[in-house]
Structure 1
Amino acid sequence: MAAGKGRASTPEMPTDRLVITDLTPEAHWARRPNEEEQRWLAAIAELSPEPYVLNAQLEVDHEPTIEPILTRDVDGWRANRYIGEIRHQGRTLVIKPRLDVETIMSWISTILNVQVLPQTAARSTGVTSVVTQLLAALWRASVLTAGQHALPRASEKVSSHGLAVRGRLDVAATARRRAAGHRDLVSTRVARTYDNAPARAVVLADRYLDQRLAGASWRGSRLEEQLGVLRTATGARPALPTLHEIRTARYSPITIKWRRAAELSWRILNRDPLGVAADDESTHGVLIDVAELWELFVLHCAGLATGQPVRHGTTTQTSGHLARSTVDPQRTMGRLYPDVVVGEHPITTVIDAKYKRLGGMRGVSREDLYQLHAYSSTFEAPVAALVYPSIGDLIPADERDSPWQTSTGALSFLTLPTEQAACVAKLAQWISDTAALRSEP
């Protein structure tokens, strides 16, 4: 038998690692999954992503959008809005971003106004996985944001005995000492310490990530300095605090952000998302909601692109309703939450961010078109837009022919650059152009 025929007749051997790209049909994956992997992917699709999504803990206060990790259509399996790793039944699914990892990191930096990866480490993380880099970037951003004004200092009451009063005299305790024949005084004072639950969680998460970044210089001088203070306070072997201890620790208005950083640290440690110590039967991992990051990146750029008020539409304060009862006006139906609302009394523009590709044979999906029209009519916005990440230099036909006029307003479909300055410039030009269009007789 010829060698080629022999290889063709050999059954496919299962692997323990499948690498795919987000929002990419199965036909365009690096390799097609075999039958056993198809069954395994079906099991992954049944998992709820909620326990593994980490970036929703950072800055967003509304309920996160939960979509399946994988869906299946006529083109086969397709990853949805998440990137990351999921280990299930002894195998690992790796979902890489279709945009490069530096782009995702720059979005995180833009959203939180911190540099998530120091320049000295930008080229030193090649040996680590994309997921490890992104997880470290999210954690670093959370800790740097928390430490902008103060470290997580806690207060505790300390008692002392002696002939001099240190702090405030404890009259009752001193009386008891005197009754027992002692001549010293008992006093109490409030001591400030960094040895507390949030600090211990952060120190342990830093150690966890550093072990998996293979010695890369990833912290930066500012974070290294802050962690040095916390390591000194918590000691060489701090105990992992419980989530209850983190949530019930005392925080001041300037240290409250340490609660989020500590909760993210606890989730990293408790669930071991990088899975080094997990057994084959466990399910664990880390997912990053990149669609949410794109939404927040667009929100930030819109705020820089116009002098009008810009609000995050996914809150109850700026939500609208698709229908209202004529019998009972208090009853509504179909609450809508656009991503970005520009203007106030009146609203001038509504923007919804879509982390997907604009263009192709199918064009704008019917669901997205109906959603945008509902935003336009509900908020009575003269202009409503769907915005997509720009991929390549070609301008899709749906964007070239924008805006599209409806009975209630104009609809636009835009591709925006993934770099902040260019994104702000294009949004500013578009907002200016649409304002001129509205002013025409």
Structure 2
Amino acid sequence: MAGEKRPATAEAPPDRLVIKDLTSEKYWDRPPTGEEQRWLASIAELSPEPYVLNAQLEADHEPTIEPILTRDIDGWRASRYIGEIRHQGRTLVIQPRLGVETIMSWISTILNVQVLPRTAAQSTGVTSVVTQLLAALWRASILTAGQHALPRTGMKISSHGLSVRGRLDVGATARRRAAGHRDLVSTRLERTSDNAPARAVVLADRYFDQHLAGARWRGPRLDEQLAVLRASTGSRPPKPSLHAIRNTRYSPITIKWRRAAELSWRILNEDPLGVTADDESTHGVLIDVAELWELFVLHCAGLATEQPVRHGTTTQTSGRLARSTVDPGRTMGRLYPDVLVGEDPITALLDAKYKRLVDMKGVNREDLYQLHAYSSTFAAPVAALAYPVITDEVPSYERYGPWQTSTGALSFLTLPTEKDACVAKLAIWFNQRDAPR
């Protein structure tokens, strides 16, 4: 990035600082003032965990928590998150350096649903990017949950009369007869969408409507689903508690609605897009782009090969760096590569790195040692670090690869950020990895 010029952009209000992820202070649109330097230092001390929302994408994935901001020789640098943090009366906006359309396309690939990336082009202003991305995450969770069924639950309804509707309630009928009544009491179970998950989803839809006024952000499928839910709950149902959402009885078909409803409840409860925060409060929403890149690479790998592809960061596929010779049951150094290809044996592994791979800085030493440890521990003949393409120039670390070690070959791949191109490049790598060099 040597010699890179600051782009000409509309000046943000004095209480807002707009930056891009993985971009150091040296290349921001403007240098922060002394007061903003102290403010950024206080943000760097915050834990991002309360504000990160996209752990909702994969239930089995254990997200990595890193600081919102770090400091190096070039000053402050945003890390792996994009979004907004309102803190001490000021707002930090972190925009995606690869563009909002790219991030939305990753979400579409990960969840196999369309999240309307065209809405980003319709938006203007620094807040709209965060709003659109959060809406895309929420929309994707609803469409994923509603692929097979709406969140219907059984409701027990009692009725009185001279005929039985459903099952006769013997005990209630006996009590009615003892009181001098001649009617029968019966019960029936009716399926309804007027329940806690549906109310949370309907209210979250209203929330986004208020922040995306005039935008056609839902799409016909989501419009249809929300119309059915609103018909059951009403347009302004009471807000359910998180306890009610978690204790709703879900079937195997409707279980994904629990996650969608919990995300809806969190959005409603924390109001990440609200503007009412006072000077003493901290509000906001962060999206972990490194996690999205990892899941995007995972899904592209699954499309690029016919071999089994597993998400290696689950506990079921961890490896051990060392094992005791005295007691083989004792191990140390648990390892979790992102993508494992093949089962017995493992034929390849990938670890996604949402960072730049350029000749000037090269491969991070810790990443290199990590990849070598993965390769030797899982006995993978080939292993690769997968970076997003930043420029058309192919780094020398990729051009002269793979790099042979005592246990296997290591590659450093820069992958296209568009799905079809990424799948095509991974397919070539999978097909050529066993070829002699």
When normalised by structure 1's length, the TM-score is: 0.94
The reply on whether 1:306 has 2:305 as its aligned counterpart is: yes
Contact 1:118 1:219 in 2 (8 A): no
CA contact 2:83–2:285 (8 Å) conserved in 1: yes
User: Residue 136 of structure 1 aligns to which amino acid in structure 2?
Assistant: A
Partner residue of 1:222? 221
The verdict on how the C-alpha distance between 1:122 and 1:20 changes in structure 2, with shifts beyond 3 A counting, is closer
1:409-429: per-residue Cα shift (whole Å, max 9, x none)? 111001000111110000000
Matches of 2:354 and 2:120, distance apart in 1:
25
Q: Please, which runs of 5 or more residues in structure 2 have no aligned partner?
A: 1-12
> Shift of residue 15 of structure 1?
2.6
C-alpha separation between the residues in 2 aligned to 1:167 and 1:275?
48
- Superposition deviation, residue 263 in structure 1: 0.5
Aligned equivalent of 1:251 = 250
Q: Is the 8 A contact 1:71 1:79 kept in 2?
A: yes
State the superposition RMSD in angstroms.
1.4
Equivalent-residue separation in structure 2 for 1:37 and 1:124 (angstroms) = 31
CA displacement at 1:239 relative to structure 2: 1.1
2:224 & 2:117 partners in 1: Cα distance?
14
SS in structure 2 of the partner of residue 40 of structure 1: helix
> Separation in 1 of the partners of 2:393 and 2:359?
11
Query: By how many angstroms is 1:214 displaced?
Result: 2.1
Once the two structures are superposed, residues 341-384 of structure 1 have per-residue CA deviations (whole angstroms, 9 ceiling, x without a partner) of: 01111111110000011114110011111111111111111111
Alignment of 1:10-409 (within 5 A): 15-117=14-116, 121=119, 123-126=121-124, 129-409=128-408
Against the structure 1 CA distance between its residues 347 and 218, is the aligned structure 2 distance closer, same or farther, given a 3 Å change threshold? same
- CA apart distance, 1:168: 0.5
Partner residue, 2:7: none
CA distance in 1, matches of 2:37, 2:408: 45
**Bigger Cα displacement from structure 2, 344-353 vs 125-134:** 125-134
Deviation for aligned residue 1:123: 4.2
- Write the letter of the residue equivalent to 1:296: L
AA partner of residue 56 (structure 1)? A
Report how far residue 122 of structure 1 moved: 5.8
Secondary structure (helix, strand or coil) at the match of 1:252 reads coil
Q: Which amino acid aligns with 1:47?
A: L
- Contact kept, 8 Å, 1:118 with 1:220, in 2: the verdict is no
Q: Deviations over 1:98-121 (max 9, x none)?
A: 1010000000000000001276x4
Are 2:120 and 2:129, in contact at CA under 8 Å, matched by a contact in 1?
no
Counterpart CA distance in 1 for 2:235 and 2:93 is: 34
Give per-residue Cα distances to partners, 1:314-336, cap 9 Å, x unaligned: 01221111111111111111100
Q: Is the 8 A contact 1:124 1:217 kept in 2?
A: no
For 1:72 and 1:385, the matched residues in 2 are separated by 28
Q: Is the 8 A contact 2:176 2:182 kept in 1?
A: yes
Q: Secondary structure at the residue paired with 2:435? A: helix
Q: Deviations over 1:250-298 (max 9, x none)?
A: 1011000000100100111111101223223210100000100000000
SS at match of 1:142: helix
Structure 1 residue 233, shift from structure 2 partner? 1.0
Question: 2: CA distance between counterparts of 1:123 and 1:96?
Answer: 14
The aligned counterpart of 1:11 is none
Give the TM-score normalised by the residue count of structure 2: 0.95
Gaps of 5+ in 1: 1-13
Name the SS of the counterpart of 2:267 in structure 1: helix
Identity of paired residues, percent? 81
| Alignment size in residue pairs | 425
Whole-Å Cα distance in 2 between the matches of residues 102 and 164 of structure 1? 60
Distance in 2 (alpha carbons) for counterparts of 1:238 and 1:372: 51
Amino acid at match of 1:320: G
CA distance in 1, matches of 2:163, 2:397: 81
Matched residue SS, 2:361: coil
Aligned partners of 2:228 and 2:277: how far apart in 1? 31
| Partners of 1:192 and 1:281 in 2: CA distance | 46
Residues 169 and 186, structure 2, Cα contact 8 Å, conserved in 1: yes
Give the conservation status (yes or no) of the 8 Å contact 1:125–1:213. Answer: no
TM-fit CA distance, 1:60: 3.8
Paired letter, 2:349: V
